Amino acid sequence: METLKLGFIGSGFIAHFLAVAMKQVRHVELSAVYKRGGAEELSKFAQENGLGSCEVFDTVEEVCNHSDAVAVFAPNFARVEIVEQVADAVKKGTELKGIICEKPLGRTVKEARRLVELAKEVDLPTAYFEDQIYMRSIQNALSQLEPQQKSMGYFTLARSAEEHGGPHSSWFWDPVKTGGGTLSDMGCHSIATCKYILTPPGKSLDFLEPVSMMTDTSLLKWGQEKYRKELKERTGVDYAKTPAEDYCSGMITFRNPENGQFVKAQFSNSWMYDKQGLRLRMEGMGPGYAMDVNTLRSPLEVFISDAAADAVKDAESALEKSTATRGLLTVQPNEADLYGYVDEIRDARDAFLKGEDAMLNWEFGLSITWLVQAGYMAAEKDETLDLTDEKIQNDLESYESLIAQGKGADVLLG
């Protein structure tokens, strides 16, 4: 089998996590990385683990010239400019088999649509990295329940939640750079997963028609003075001036265009889950059957007493965003595989080597950005949004939430 040389544009948390996942994927080589913070460490990791030469380059064009495909793992605010540079490199003669973008595809519908257009301009196959859809627990559950769906009827309710104590990088806490708070950061995961679960087997990912959106965005934990002070000291972001929601919940109604049935997607996300660490919870319910995923259920637990806790150097060696170094701890022995990173890389490899889009392409990413922005609009208007209304659809094309504009105090602290 041919090997895909993959270049990383971005060398932060997600890039390192995906490099760990690549250790479990054959015929993919980490060939290049764009010179930014963490690039040298990523290059060293790749070389020490046999992932590839992973040379560090000063420009995006050089990364493209030394890769078969590139993955955009840079911060949200930099992605349009980076993809423009990738497109320019292709126009100059660089041959690429595909381009990957980590979620979310854009901070706004306008940004996401721009990325889709750029990829089409240079005829590049795309992969939208939404790892949670690739989780084997979800894939296996849907496979096992496919006969029940065909016999009894399709899923009618999907619920998805992602919760932890907050992001790593300081830029994530700046809503202008990020495009919002938990709804932008994690709601895109949960909305995409719900939509995927609800889509009938064998149907395209744009099969279901969005009908309505109701959302609540709140500032709960980080709205308190003590936490705002701690956040400012740690990241430099003043949440009293430019807050973003640290909790969101909502309900999307979709319509099956073939039988007219309405189905519901319920999402809930927070940066205020001060328990073990990262928790993902997905559920799907249909007539006479159901599925349930909870990532804090693990076959492995460890116990560390107070006397032995000083020896723990990294709490996150047990679980991403772990908040404790002692007591009875949940441990996931293979997080990269658990969360779907391994299989999304495999899917991109297979698709690009065939000259095709991955299972999740940038059009799918655009549809999720559209729903996320509809969520912000519904919260600002404090009403259930009619997603079939042409005016609403048109408004979403240029919409930028008040939170993303740095005006979150108007909607969260009032």
pLDDT over 80 at 177, yes or no: yes
pLDDT over 80 at 320, yes or no: no
Q: Output the pLDDT for position 314.
A: 76
What total number of domains does the chain contain?
2
The residue among 380, 391, 384 whose CA lies nearest residue 213 is: 384
Q: Output the pLDDT for position 341.
A: 97
CATH number at residue 157: 3.30.360.10
Is 138 among the domain residues? no
34 confidence band (pLDDT: 50, 70, 90): very high
Tell me, yes or no, whether 149 and 280 share the same domain. yes
Tell me, yes or no, whether 302 and 398 share the same domain. yes
Is 56 among the domain residues? yes
Q: Output the pLDDT for position 98.
A: 98
Instruction: State the Cα–Cα distance between residues 269 and 160, nearest whole angstrom.
Output: 8
299 confidence band (pLDDT: 50, 70, 90): confident
Tell me, yes or no, whether 201 and 347 share the same domain. no
Q: Output the pLDDT for position 350.
A: 98
The answer, yes or no, to whether the previous bond of 104 is cis (omega within 30 of 0) is yes
Q: Does the CA dihedral 106-319-132-181 come out positive or negative?
A: negative
pLDDT over 80 at 325, yes or no: no
Tell me, yes or no, whether 190 and 290 share the same domain. yes
The residue among 275, 87, 16, 93 whose CA lies nearest residue 166 is: 275
Q: Measured in whole angstroms, how far is the alpha carbon of residue 177 from the centre of its chain?
A: 16
Give the CA angle between residues 155, 206, 116 to the nearest 5°.
145
Tell me, yes or no, whether 345 and 327 share the same domain. no
Which range marks the domain in which residue 280 is found?
Answer: 144-334+369-412
pLDDT over 80 at 59, yes or no: yes
- What would the pLDDT profile of 123-176 be if each residue is shown by its tens digit? 999 999 999 999 999 999 999 999 999 999 999 999 999 999 999 889 999 999
Q: Output the pLDDT for position 51.
A: 97
Question: pLDDT: is 298 or 35 the higher one?
Answer: 35
Instruction: State the Cα–Cα distance between residues 90 and 343, nearest whole angstrom.
Output: 27
Is 95 among the domain residues? yes
Tell me, yes or no, whether 280 and 402 share the same domain. yes
Cα distances (Å, whole numbers) of residue 126 to 1, 139, 193, 344? 21, 21, 19, 12
Q: Does the CA dihedral 137-143-149-155 come out positive or negative?
A: positive
Is 244 among the domain residues? yes
Tell me, yes or no, whether 256 and 170 share the same domain. yes
Q: Output the pLDDT for position 124.
A: 98
Is 176 among the domain residues? yes
Is 137 among the domain residues? no
Tell me, yes or no, whether 27 and 93 share the same domain. yes
Tell me, yes or no, whether 356 and 267 share the same domain. no
Is 205 among the domain residues? yes
SS3 state of residue 91: helix
pLDDT over 80 at 311, yes or no: no
- What would the pLDDT profile of 3-26 be if each residue is shown by its tens digit? 999 999 999 999 999 999 999 999
Q: What mean pLDDT comes out for the span 319-338?
A: 83
Tell me, yes or no, whether 65 and 42 share the same domain. yes
Provide the 8-state DSSP code for 67: -
Instruction: State the Cα–Cα distance between residues 345 and 172, nearest whole angstrom.
Output: 24
Tell me, yes or no, whether 14 and 77 share the same domain. yes
CATH number at residue 18: 3.40.50.720
pLDDT over 90 at 189, yes or no: yes
Instruction: State the Cα–Cα distance between residues 123 and 98, nearest whole angstrom.
Output: 9
- What would the pLDDT profile of 87-132 be if each residue is shown by its tens digit? 999 999 999 999 999 999 999 999 999 999 999 999 999 999 999 9
Tell me, yes or no, whether 164 and 71 share the same domain. no
- What would the pLDDT profile of 251-269 be if each residue is shown by its tens digit? 999 999 999 999 999 999 9
Q: Output the pLDDT for position 398.
A: 98
The residue among 116, 148, 166 whose CA lies nearest residue 321 is: 166
